[in-house]
Amino acid sequence: MASAGLSRSVSARFSYRSLNLNSPRVSSAAHRKWMVPGSFFNALVLVFFFVSLVLVLCCILYLYWFRYLARGLVPSFNGVVEGCDVFDGSWVRDETFPLYNSSLCPFVERGFNCLANGREDREYLQWRWKPRLCEIPRFDVRDMLQRLRGKRIVFVGDSMSRTQWESLICLLMTGVEDPKGVYEVNGNSISKTIQFLSVQFRSFNFTVEFFRSVFLVQQGLPPRNGPKRVKMTLKLDKMDFMNQRWVDSDILIFNSGHWWTPTKLFDVGCYFQVGGSLKLGMPITSAFRLALETWASWVESMVNTNRTHVFFRTFEPSHWSGLGQKTCEVTKKPTIEAEGNIRSEFTDIIAEVAAKVKFPMTVLNVTMMGAYRSDAHIGTWSHPASILDCSHWCLPGVPDSWNELVFASLFREGWR
């Protein structure tokens, strides 16, 4: 993550004394002899010296300039380069978008395919994320397919993670000549509850996999003799039972946060547990932090980070406009100002835990990016149509940009 600097030791070797022709240690006679007019050889030496000095200085200036210019082209491992935060930007209109046709991709589940569900306006498809002070590279699908040969990409998380998984498969399929060579290895159809999905790209011998783990830590039965209201617990100090299956991967992308709510925890009788002890009074944010610390310890001890590139995506903002998620107003264009629940404590906790880890990782801080995209939610174009949705995103859409940022970060690190 640290940028290599240019050494100044070369320039330091040129002492002022060696350049001082009026030094008291040099006699005036010797001086005059050095500068004798008509001495072609001496003049040639002087010219060569000064030309060499100019060339050295120009090379140093050029290397410094090239170094800082190049930093603006591709985001760094943590998304921030000197003078450019790739997550600080805006959505710009781009007629070359979308990057794929959802109707031609069999891995977009019906609930995310807004066009198939009756959405008629297409303007929401033609927006590209543009950082304020730099550019991110265009998604080159043929180059990407070659780089992914023999590799394994794993997504772990909730339905937002599944959306990103579907997005990546559809992006990559645009460069595949035989669509039949891309298939789910177990013949499974995509559903909201399936625990594991793996799509094989046969011609390139790599897989893109999804593991449903909405909390990342273990969910199970409570200790004996607990209160009757405790039907299940989250064991904050233990990773999900499936964690061993995530380890042997080349790209490992996590997310969590949307299920950490009273409705999806306490209202269904799910409380927190550490060791053998229930933590009935523990706030959800404190439990989330402890779960992430468990996750960080697991990565450090179990994942070969020399091989595996680890990402954690932040909380995605929703745009419900009424209490109880009953009103969902989808706009026609991205908003000028960020809207929705952009001040999520979960995003802050992710950043704080990530700052303390001892292994290389990338935080995909997509919270603010999504805050402008109230036009890109599913809204009334869900399946079945009676379900309003101002949390999930249409495909193609916002998750495509998350994947562009993943590979931009990998390229910055010299990924092969």
Q: Catalytic: which of 377, 389, 391, 400?
A: 389
In the chain the first and final C-alpha atoms are separated, in Å, by 17
What are the distances in angstroms from CA 341 to CA 104, 128, 262, 347?
A: 33, 22, 16, 11
Q: How far apart are CA 181 and CA 207, in angstroms?
A: 12
Q: How far apart are CA 124 and CA 375, in angstroms?
A: 6
One-letter amino acid at 312 equals F
39 labelled catalytic: no
Residue with tokens 């090239």: 66
348 labelled catalytic: no
Q: How far apart are CA 365 and CA 315, in angstroms?
A: 8
Residue with tokens 């562009």: 404
Whether the upstream peptide bond of residue 384 has omega within 30° of 0, thus cis, is yes
Q: From start to end of 213-320, where are the E strands?
A: 217-220, 232-239, 251-255, 270-274, 277-279, 309-313
Q: Catalytic: which of 76, 102, 159, 256?
A: 159
Q: Catalytic: which of 319, 392, 401, 409?
A: 392
Q: How far apart are CA 191 and CA 230, in angstroms?
A: 28
Q: How far apart are CA 63 and CA 206, in angstroms?
A: 38
**In this structure, what token pair is assigned to residue 302?**
């179990």
Q: How far apart are CA 213 and CA 245, in angstroms?
A: 12
389 labelled catalytic: yes
| Phi then psi dihedrals of residue 194, to 5 deg | -65, 140
Catalytic residues: 159, 389, 392
